[in-house]
A = this chain, B = another copy of it.
Amino acid sequence: MDSPHTTQSLPQYRQLYEILRRHIIEGIYETGDMLPSEHELCVTFHMARPTVRHALANLVRDGFIIKRKGKGSIVYKHPKGVGILSVAGTTTALEGVDLKTRIITRPQVQPWPHSFIFPLSEIELESGSIFMERLRLVDDRPLFFDITYIPNINLPRFCSRSFEDKSLFDTLRRFYNIEIIGGEQRLKAIPAEGRFAQYLEVQDQTPILHLERKIQTNRYRFQFYSKLYCNTTDHDLFGIF
């Protein structure tokens, strides 16, 4: 097994979040079911109410439950959809879906593009970027093409890791202790052209979704960037707000 420090003292609210999340995904709860009340969860897991509420708040944020005053926490499983607009990261968001990753360009260090989408700091510019291109497939049909730029700062052996069918976010968390804490994204509908149309297996000029993202991490002054080209003809993109 490769679990260096899987549960390395995760905060209690995160532990409870993971447990309930798993229960919902695995079908122990169905849409419409009530979660145990906050009080019950306090007793069961030996936590104070704010701690329990913190966990539940995150489940709300990620769309797993909705809460009703005087009623309780209601499980809400969303119909199939591709929730790549959330913090959780693509691989997690698509849990339960047959997701495959094909590496188009293996991670390699190179200078930043000349005019980059987002402004870069001195240190980012100096260090260069780790560049990587991946095609993600759902049910063996290409869903989106993902170009990632990561500042090459203190990420030993990063380029020699395998990302075939692996989660980038997981790799960052497990080997480098980097957690994703948020980000911003810009969306555009654009016509598919050239190699993007080929990768996504759509006709030239088919409307596709283009996302440019800046992803914040818990490491001080460390963020990274990605560009997505997404085929929304077969699947809708799905988001919570």
For A219-241 the 0/1 string (1 means CB < 8 A from B) is: 01000000000101100111111
Does B78 lie within 8 Å of A189, measured CB to CB?
A: no
Does A63 lie within 8 Å of B186, measured CB to CB?
A: no
Does B187 lie within 8 Å of A220, measured CB to CB?
A: no
Tell me which of B186, B212, B233, B241 contacts A87 (CB under 8 A).
B241
Does B81 lie within 8 Å of A186, measured CB to CB?
A: yes
Residues of A within 8 A of B (CB): 50, 60-61, 63, 66, 68, 78, 81, 85-87, 182-191, 205, 207-209, 212, 216, 220, 230, 232-233, 236-241
* Chain B residues positioned under 8 Å from A78 (CB to CB): 184
Q: Which residue of B lies closest to A60 (CB)?
A: B182
Output the least CB separation between A92 and chain B (Å).
13
Knowing A66-B182, A68-B220, A220-B68, say if A187 contacts B236 (CB, 8 Å): yes
Q: Which residue of B lies closest to A185 (CB)?
A: B239
Tell me which of B50, B66, B183, B191 contacts A240 (CB under 8 A).
B183
Does B184 lie within 8 Å of A208, measured CB to CB?
A: no
* Chain B residues positioned under 8 Å from A63 (CB to CB): 184
Q: Which of A189, A190, A233 has the most chain B CB within a 10 Å cutoff? A: A189
* Chain B residues positioned under 8 Å from A85 (CB to CB): 85, 187, 239, 241
* Chain B residues positioned under 8 Å from A208 (CB to CB): 189, 207
